[in-house]
Amino acid sequence: MMTDKEGWKDLPKGAVSIKSSQDYKTGDWGIEKPEFDYDRCTRCNLCSFFCPDGSIILNEEGYPEVDLYHCKGCGICAKECPSSTITMVSNK
């Protein structure tokens, strides 16, 4: 059994972690990050719904913003966006 002091790297092979990127800053190793075109955004919130790590939040105006400390750059948000609002760009 893991203690709170152990991290995901200490898990044995084949184990499943119940932690998410909200528990670890993962944004420093992603190759790409999402970039939003607010002129095309319909504020449907599907990008936030499909984000596996909860890294997309809505700002005060209802537009999505990404938490780059926890975004892994997987691109699911861009693929699921029905209005092609999100483009994945280099994180470097």
The predicted pLDDT at position 56 comes to 94
CB of 48 closer than 8 Å to CB of 57: yes
pLDDT tens track, the chain, 92 positions: 445 556 656 767 765 555 555 566 666 677 899 999 999 999 999 999 999 888 999 999 999 999 988 888 999 999 999 999 999 999 87
Tell me the CATH number of domain 24-92, given options 3.40.640.10, 3.40.30.10, 3.50.30.30, 3.30.70.20.
3.30.70.20
| Domain range summary for the chain, segments of one domain joined by + | 24-92
CB of 24 closer than 8 Å to CB of 72: no
Model confidence, pTM: 0.70
The predicted pLDDT at position 2 comes to 46
The predicted pLDDT at position 7 comes to 64
